Structure 1
Amino acid sequence: MTSNSSITTAKTLIVHAENDVTYAYRILGASKGEVPLVLLQHFRGNLDNWDPALVDALAREREVIVFNNTGVASSTGTIPDTVETMSDDAAAFLTALGLAKVDLFGFSLGGFIAQHLALTKPEIVRRLILAGTGPKGGPGMAHWSEDVVSHLVTPDAPGAEDILAVFYAPTGESQMAGGAALGRIFTRSEGRDIDVSTGTKDSQYYGAVLSWGRPDWDAVQALTRIQQPTLILQGDNDVMIPTAASHLMAGLIPGARIRIFPNASHGSIFQYAPEAAAETLSFLAS
């Protein structure tokens, strides 16, 4: 597969899967003989919520696929309320594209899905990148802080200032980087994806996120069974998912590499897009 060099111009495609869902997706970059890099999106995210600075940099060396999972934005179907079903749906999408093996880059909620796929369908996943995410049942994962996070990201229509408060650190440098990232995300003017519905938001948070975070030490220990080479990326003060969760994952996943970005919160991979892309490409090539 080949396509455009930028997510801001890549055509939105569709594929119908055996689960009777029609998935919306985009492909950019070129194969170059490698397995594709599939990106799994964050809570309330659609095709246009990826930062072009990150995705386009990845696509300069790899074929990159972004998609909306079942019921999200322009994909059809009813949004599941568990990570396990979201993972099955993501696998159905990969099968529909004829992809037997991929590298996975999971951001936030997408990182939950990536972990579950690595554990339950290891034959599909070659390498794993976990960004701004945490382990099932881990400490601090039970819910998002009421006073700092959930009242900003769960309203029907959060504003730019709410996104900046959660995704970026409360410093001038980080907030400026966040404003620049938001500008890049809205670069595409034609053919933009449709917004994520409030029903999707509710199923993702009140269903999938909260059930994933329910304390469960056996689920945490399952990370020791992940055999794929793993890279972990996060900000040093993530207010949505505790940075300590990344250190816990790095300690349990055999041989995992970890990179913590300074003066950064949940959107560290956008704030440090060139560095996050370079770290990811180096890891995939190693």
Structure 2
Amino acid sequence: MERTVPVADGVELWVEERGDPGAPAVLLVMGAASSGLFWPDALVDRLARSYRVVRYDHRDTGRSTAGSSYALRELADDAVAVLDGLGIDRAHVVGMSMGGLLTQLLLLDHPDRLLSATLFGTGPLGGAPGEPAPGPSAELLAFWATMGEPRDDEAELAWRVEHWRLLHGDGIPVDPAEWRAQELRVAEHSGGLLPATAHATADQSGLARGAELASVAVPVLVVEAPADPAYPPPNARRLADALGNAHVVTVPGMGHALPAAVLAPLADAIEAQLVSPRGAGDRPG
């Protein structure tokens, strides 16, 4: 079922639900400049066998309101507003990339709304104790510098497919046709190849709260993606160390993307956390 949910004055988000409305809820929070449709249907449908699964478009993505001025931290408030709009008191929250940063803010500011959290493709919020986690690869940073360059639709599509190739990492073979098909599907949903720069230029203040993560009591799973070029190892381990209640599971070959090849082991890890949320006391050594 699809609907729009108001989250702020003049701002509505596209939201889709699958599964039993009476089952425990799972909220999927996607990364920057990415429609909720980048959560693969195969993953959504598998989780929806047992859960009420919710995915949505951030502001400036997909069918949600575009063009308003906001700080990235407000996108965490949007996630809470989505839960409110659907009448969901508490949910398991799964966050990827920027969605993982937003989920960390939810853990800090709205722990009463989370049954558990699963984080991947992300690192700790700024200011976390210990050595800073490594940043994106030089190749990826150079590619991102071309993000705002003018391109026609076919060139933009080619740029995005190449972007996914880089994000995919070198852990498993890349199928460019898989990503071209996914981008075309999202373009049809969105009404075109929308610009991908809005989140990159949004206000990023208020995100340096890593020192607070040790207070988190909600059970957290951190999925380590060993081939991730955006948040390379040991980001996942440093995030788990910064959190007060986390354990780590590695998905072999996974990068900063959700190709079909990683969905089964990723779903296994997520479902294990949903069935029996685990914390630091259960963390593998």
TM-score category of the 2 structures, normalised to the smaller one: 0.7 to 0.9
Question: Who is 2:143 aligned against?
Answer: 151
Alpha-carbon contact 1:47-1:193 (below 8 Å) kept: no
Question: Who is 1:207 aligned against?
Answer: 202
Q: Distance in 2 between matches of 1:154 and 1:284?
A: 39
Deviation at 1:140, TM superposition (A): 3.9
Question: Who is 2:83 aligned against?
Answer: 94
Q: Give 3-state SS (helix, strand or coil) of 1:246's partner.
A: helix
> Does 1:174 find its partner at 2:173?
yes
Alpha-carbon contact 1:81-1:204 (below 8 Å) kept: no
Per-residue CA deviations over 1:237-268 (Å, capped at 9, x if unaligned) read 31111221210111232331211222332126
Extract unaligned runs of 5+ from structure 1: 4-11
Residue 255 of structure 2: which of 250, 265, 271 is its match? 265
Letter in 1 for 2:179: L
Query: Size of the alignment, in residue pairs?
Result: 263
How large is the RMSD of aligned CA atoms in angstroms?
2.9
Question: Who is 1:63 aligned against?
Answer: 52
Residue 192 of structure 1: which of 171, 189, 205 is its match? 189
Q: Give 3-state SS (helix, strand or coil) of 2:174's partner.
A: helix
Extract unaligned runs of 5+ from structure 2: 149-155, 277-285
Q: Give 3-state SS (helix, strand or coil) of 1:65's partner.
A: strand
Q: Distance in 2 between matches of 1:190 and 1:86?
A: 22
Q: Check 1:251–1:189 CA distance in 2 against 1; reply closer, same or farther (3 A cut).
A: closer
Q: Give 3-state SS (helix, strand or coil) of 2:111's partner.
A: coil
Q: Distance in 1 between matches of 2:16 and 2:146?
A: 27
Q: Distance in 2 between matches of 1:148 and 1:268?
A: 17
Q: Give 3-state SS (helix, strand or coil) of 1:43's partner.
A: coil
Q: Check 1:17–1:109 CA distance in 2 against 1; reply closer, same or farther (3 A cut).
A: closer
Q: TM-score, normalised by structure 1?
A: 0.79
Q: Give 3-state SS (helix, strand or coil) of 2:228's partner.
A: coil
Q: Distance in 2 between matches of 1:184 and 1:159?
A: 11
Q: Check 1:237–1:112 CA distance in 2 against 1; reply closer, same or farther (3 A cut).
A: same
Alpha-carbon contact 1:232-1:258 (below 8 Å) kept: yes
Q: Distance in 2 between matches of 1:257 and 1:160?
A: 33
Q: Check 1:126–1:162 CA distance in 2 against 1; reply closer, same or farther (3 A cut).
A: same
Q: Check 1:271–1:187 CA distance in 2 against 1; reply closer, same or farther (3 A cut).
A: farther
